[in-house]
Amino acid sequence: MLALLLTAVAGCGLGGDGPEETVQAFAAAWAGGDDGAAAALTDDPAAATALLTSVRGSLAPAGLAVQVGQVRTASDTATASLDLRWDLGQG
C-alpha cells in the first residue's frame, strides 16, 4: 500500500517544482513529521494523508529518516524510490 502511494509522489512537478524537488520536499516533510505537507505533494492528498497518518500512528516511531533514491519520469508521470529508516525506539 505504501509503495503505491510513493509511486504517485512528484507527479511531474505538482506545485510548480520539478519531480526531483517535489520528492525531496515530500521526503523532508514526512521525515519531519508533517504528514499533511508530505501528502499535499502527492496526486491524492486526502488518501495520502490518511495513509501516512495511519502508518505513523501504528508504528509510533521515535524518528524517521527518508533518503531519496532514483527519480524516474515518463510522459506526465514521475515515480521515486525512497529508503525509509524508522527509529522505533527499541534499541
Distance CA 89, CA 91 (A): 6
Q: What are phi and psi of 87, to 5 degrees?
A: -95, 105
Those residues of the chain that have pLDDT short of 50 are 1-5, 7-8, 10-14
**Looking at the chain, how many residues does it have?**
91
pLDDT (0 to 100) of residue 11? 47
Burial level of 45, CB count in 10 A (0-12/13-18/19+)? middle
Residue 1, pLDDT score: 39
